[in-house]
Amino acid sequence: MAQVQALGSCRKFSGWSTQRHCRVLPSSVITPFPPPSHRLRISKSLSRQSSYSQQHRRSCFSVSTCRLSGESKDPNNKKELSSGDAIKLKWSQTSPRKTQQCRSSSVGVEAFQEQARGLQGDGTITLSREEEGESLPGSEPAQKDANQSAPGGHDFQWAENWYPIAVERDVRKELPLAVTILGKPLVLWWDRNKREKGQPGGWRAFLDMCPHRLAPLSEGRIDEAGRLQCSYHGWSFDGDARCQSIPQAEKEGPQAAAHSSPRACAQPFPTLLQNGLVWVWLDPATADTALKRPPPHVPEMDDPSFSKDLVARDFPYGYDFLVENLMDPSHLPFAHHGIMSNRSRAGPLRITLRGENPRGFVAEQHPQGKADFSAPVLFTQDINIPPKEKDAAKGGSGKKIRLCFWLTPVSPGRSRLFYAFPQNFVTWLFALIPRWLLHIRQHSILDSDLMILHLAEKRLQREGGGTDNWSRAYFMPTAADRYIVAFRRWLTKHGGGQPDFGPQPEPAPTAAQPGRMELMDRYESHTKHCSSCSKAVRRLEALQKGLAFGSVSIVALVSALASGGVVKAQAYGPYALLGALVMAVSAFGLKGVIQKFYVEDYIHALVK
Ligand code: FES
Ligand SMILES: [Fe+2]
């Protein structure tokens, strides 16, 4: 019966997706379509309009009337729809040729898809209450105050925000660093002449472009006076971006004052240091606003009772896929099987949205704890571990880990993640385990879904453009995807669907389609910028060379001594060979460890 209903319903749709859906599913798992009871989110459009049409895949539905059960037909006597109300919809399917007309509808596609799935044979649909405590779109946020100094609202300006650009401990103060954020090429450098909070020195960020002939300042150096010097013709800039020296200028006459021209200035951006990260405000024109609106702060990152390690990693997929992935606890048992979870642990997740507004959303995963998205850069998920009974009786408090993800848009198809998991238990572990060893393990986790995300992003692009293409392409029927829905809704409603990279964002480093190993590269995306890993890999490579050299030398030395009659070959030969063998095997073993700093593949099908 279920199968008949499913196929029968499918015939109402001319879209290929629906047909394919029916053919692919084995009959044992086909459920009645549409489902007998279906949750519908109330959209503002639905409550204000009495008729509309919309595209569903390649089919169009025209809904001619929409009214409460028992409500009069008088258009002047309409009530607002609310949760729990039953409504009557009269609808008809129209030709796919009317796609254009459907697209121009003002009704949210996501809302309509929900409605289309819920349409019953008699044209009745029931609005049912969402999970208790969840805030419906358009309702008042439960915990966050929408009237706070919101970063955007409907006119969200991506550049008018703080973005983390580097882990402070990993930036070498003697070297300028090239960083691209939101399509803007920047140079970050340490200005030892700056005084910040009474301390000498401070971070400076300029547009990575010399005003002379546009050479990248990140290829420059810190000169003897502590200024940033362009390496092309030697112009030098102080911490306020003023040009202080043009070596080619005459000492007398009009050229002598050329360095004080406004056109000789570099372009500075506000910076600050918080939670171990260097932050930059990307719109210099609104620097005053930057001072009034600091970046979101994570108290645990500055609390000495929490241990933590802050890490950076670049990815070959865009900001939206990065955010989705880190808000998605349900992928852990599969995408990270055998590394941090196990396929057998998969199951329903209880996630409740508590509030959505222009600043992001607040939600909760049960029983782990609260989640918070402070748009556009910070997502945190609390994991509260209650105390054992005997500890609770003694008044002991529970343990806590806070998963912190700082998410940055680099350029289209590129993103950068900063992450830390401050925890208030087993804090000695971080002092015991070398930082680079932690990073190697975390790379395995991050790499095991890298290809999936890189390709899924391309699939979404294939599904067509538009700020809400996700709502046409995704089918997310379970509570496990609630964070994703809330994030996508924020991005569509407030963020314009995608980060605003400006008219000409810095192009991705590789023009050609990179291969699998290039995509999974760890050296460029992490190791070379990480103080711990770069030092570790240098030392391991030196040790490897030493072992290889020692292995050959020991055999050569004993052979020479034996042939000269200094030692007996029978007495020392076996020891020399054994020593050489141990060294050679160790050098070979190190090769595998060193490789982990460069690249390592993860093939899901081979992980048992
Ligand atoms: S381009 Fe920088 S000094 Fe010439
Ligand atoms: Fe590292």
pLDDT at 468: 74
More confident residue, 294 or 68: 294
pLDDT in tens, 340-372: 888 998 999 999 999 998 889 999 999 989 999
One-letter amino acid of 403: L
Q: Is 604 in the pocket of ligand 1 (CB under 6 A)?
A: no
Measured between alpha carbons, how far is 469 from 529 in angstroms, rounded to an integer?
Answer: 36
Ligand located closest to 534 CA? 2
Measured between alpha carbons, how far is 98 from 587 in angstroms, rounded to an integer?
Answer: 68
How much of the chain is helix, strand and coil, in % rounded to 5?
A: 35, 25, 40
Residue 399 CA to ligand 2 centre (angstroms): 26
Determine the average pLDDT of the residues in 40-60.
34
Q: Is 245 in the pocket of ligand 1 (CB under 6 A)?
A: no
Residue 213 CA to ligand 2 centre (angstroms): 35
Preceding amide of 367 cis, omega within 30 = yes
From the CA of 215, give the closest atom in ligand 1. Answer: 1
Query: What is the pLDDT of the chain when averaged over all its residues?
Result: 76
From the CA of 214, give the closest atom in ligand 1. Answer: 1
Residue nearest to atom 4 of ligand 1 (CA): 233
Superfamily of domain 299-516: Naphthalene 1,2-dioxygenase Alpha Subunit; Chain A, domain 1 (3.90.380.10)
pLDDT at 16: 23
From the CA of 213, give the closest atom in ligand 1. Answer: 1
pLDDT in tens, 535-594: 999 999 999 999 999 988 888 888 888 887 777 777 788 888 898 899 999 999 999 999
Residue 219 CA to ligand 1 centre (angstroms): 11
- In percent, the amount of the chain with pLDDT more than 70 equals 70
pLDDT at 86: 47
327 vs 109, 221, 385, CA distance in Å?
23, 40, 20
Residue 384 CA to ligand 2 centre (angstroms): 27
Asked if 364 and 351 touch (Cβ cutoff 8 Å), the reply is: yes
DSSP one-letter string for 51-78: -EEEEETTEEEEEEEEEETT--S-TTSP
Residue nearest to atom 3 of ligand 1 (CA): 233
Q: Count CB-CB contacts under 10 A for residue 578.
A: 11
Superfamily of domain 162-287: Rieske [2Fe-2S] iron-sulphur domain (2.102.10.10)
pLDDT band at 151 (very low <50, low <70, confident <90, very high): very low
Whole-angstrom distance between the N-terminal and C-terminal Cα of the chain?
38
Q: Is 249 in the pocket of ligand 1 (CB under 6 A)?
A: no
Measured between alpha carbons, how far is 489 from 358 in angstroms, rounded to an integer?
Answer: 10
From the CA of 235, give the closest atom in ligand 1. Answer: 3
* Angle ∠(456,458,462) on CA atoms, nearest 5: 115
Q: Is 213 in the pocket of ligand 1 (CB under 6 A)?
A: yes
Ligand located closest to 219 CA? 1
List, in sequence order, every residue forming a beta bridge with 365; answer none if it has no partner.
351, 369
Q: Is 187 in the pocket of ligand 1 (CB under 6 A)?
A: no
Residue 310 CA to ligand 2 centre (angstroms): 9
ipTM: 0.95
Measured between alpha carbons, how far is 221 from 237 in angstroms, rounded to an integer?
Answer: 11
Domain extent listing, the chain: 34-126, 162-287, 299-516, 533-606
Q: Is 48 in the pocket of ligand 1 (CB under 6 A)?
A: no
Q: Is 258 in the pocket of ligand 1 (CB under 6 A)?
A: no
Residue nearest to atom 1 of ligand 1 (CA): 213
DSSP one-letter string for 158-206: TTSSEEEEEEGGGS-TTS-EEEEETTEEEEEEEEEEEEETTEEEEEEEE
Among 417, 413, 416, residue whose Cα is nearest residue 405 = 417
pLDDT in tens, 157-214: 999 999 999 999 999 999 999 999 999 999 999 999 987 667 778 999 999 999 999 9
Measured between alpha carbons, how far is 323 from 376 in angstroms, rounded to an integer?
Answer: 9
Determine the average pLDDT of the residues in 397-401.
85
From the CA of 246, give the closest atom in ligand 1. Answer: 3
